[in-house]
Structure 1
Amino acid sequence: MSDLLNNWEKKSKDRQKIYRQFLEKAQKPAVRNEILDRLPDLHEEAFQKVDCLKCANCCKNYSPRFKTPDIKRIARHLKLKESELIETYLRLDEDGDYVVRSTPCPFLGADNFCSIYEVRPSDCERFPYTDEDVLVRRAALTQKNSTFCPIVYFVLERLIKT
């Protein structure tokens, strides 16, 4: 693993103010466009260095939003009624979004593989958003994600250092 990723959780916690300042600057169109141009390569590099199956922090500690198309697709895959899927696995959060009832995610196996990977929620498919504008557009989310996802931490560090 890269030296950058050694002790990344502590480093990320210590650098939250720096991330906030960086992401505030990233709201300027010229800076944002430069960052967005760099994201695909940094995203690829991060995924080459981090094995999500060894981590799975996202699935162990947080929940994606389950949007209506996700619920329909997953229920069909599990051969459940949508209402059964909701009653069994989901709850409404404070924003009115469906999220998992408990963590870790009930679809996460002991081997960190997802039992519904092929039909997973779109939030899971897109996570950690390091190849899209969500990284700069939703700064608070990016900061939060940097505290539990080594890929977000890696991408932020590489963006800040250059």
Structure 2
Amino acid sequence: MIYTEENIEAFNEQARLKFPENKKFFDRLKNKKIKKLDEAFHPVHEEVFDEVDCLKCGNCCKTTSPIFTDIDIDRIAKHLRIRPAQLVKEHLHLDSDHDYVLNVTPCTFLGSDNYCSIYDVRPKACREYPHTDRKNIAGILPLTLENTKVCPAVFEIVEQLKKAGLGNKGGIVE
């Protein structure tokens, strides 16, 4: 199912209900140290994102904050023609991990049409989200598991990998 603003609540409920199952799946992936995990994730990522239009959803921008690095802050401030300190003062705070994150959700820079007003200079975390095409995905399995609760595309990627038998005896890439 392709999720949009109109049916995102159905996704949120489905993701919540499937989270324990997904956690077990990720535990199996981690415990078995499955080789070539990237080779399993990347083609499914491409397939799912051929069907997904993030602008019809925007759940990530509406519910979470990316981490803003110093480089991101400098680039965005320059784009907005303000000082980095002003960007931080008006829009960001340090979280418990001492990372800069947004003060509010939805994202300050998200328009009502789900377009990002700073798209060309957006934070690195936004450019790389949801990270399912990243090299060494084994290193970010906890993040990917958390993203199944935020991003319908990640949820769908994981569902497809489970159906394909990834992590099961005799399944793909064991």
**TM-score, scaled to structure 1:** 0.88
Offset at residue 136 of structure 1 (A): 3.5
2:93–2:102 CA contact under 8 A, matched in 1: yes
1:23–1:136 CA contact under 8 A, matched in 2: no
Cα distance in 1 for residues equivalent to 2:151 and 2:136: 15
Structure 1 position 81 matched with structure 2 position 83: yes
Offset at residue 84 of structure 1 (A): 0.7
Residues 84 and 134 of structure 1: CA distance in aligned 2, closer, same or farther (over 3 Å): farther
Cα distance in 1 for residues equivalent to 2:47 and 2:12: 19
SS of residue in 2 equivalent to 1:26? helix
Offset at residue 51 of structure 1 (A): 1.1
Residues 11 and 135 of structure 1: CA distance in aligned 2, closer, same or farther (over 3 Å): farther
Cα distance in 2 for residues equivalent to 1:73 and 1:129: 22
2:158 counterpart residue number: 156
Offset at residue 137 of structure 1 (A): 2.5
SS of residue in 2 equivalent to 1:138? helix
Q: 1:83 is aligned with what amino acid?
A: A
Residues 100 and 39 of structure 1: CA distance in aligned 2, closer, same or farther (over 3 Å): same
1:128–1:145 CA contact under 8 A, matched in 2: yes
SS of residue in 2 equivalent to 1:99? strand
Cα distance in 2 for residues equivalent to 1:134 and 1:153: 19
Q: Report % sequence identity.
A: 40
SS of residue in 1 equivalent to 2:153? helix
Alignment of 1:1-162 (within 5 A): 1=1, 7-27=10-30, 28-29=32-33, 31-33=34-36, 35-133=37-135, 135-162=137-164
Range 133-142 or range 54-63, more displaced? 133-142
Offset at residue 135 of structure 1 (A): 4.6
Give ranges in structure 2 of 5+ residues lacking alignment: 165-174
Q: 2:24 is aligned with what amino acid?
A: Q
1:136–1:142 CA contact under 8 A, matched in 2: no
Query: RMSD between aligned alpha carbons?
Result: 2.0
Deviations 1:100-148 (A, max 9, x none): 1111111001110000101100000010111125754233322221112
Offset at residue 32 of structure 1 (A): 4.3
2:38–2:136 CA contact under 8 A, matched in 1: no
**TM-score, scaled to structure 2:** 0.83
Cα distance in 1 for residues equivalent to 2:103 and 2:18: 31
Residues 26 and 13 of structure 1: CA distance in aligned 2, closer, same or farther (over 3 Å): same
SS of residue in 2 equivalent to 1:84? helix
Cα distance in 1 for residues equivalent to 2:162 and 2:138: 13
Q: 1:20 is aligned with what amino acid?
A: K
Cα distance in 2 for residues equivalent to 1:45 and 1:155: 9
SS of residue in 2 equivalent to 1:76? helix
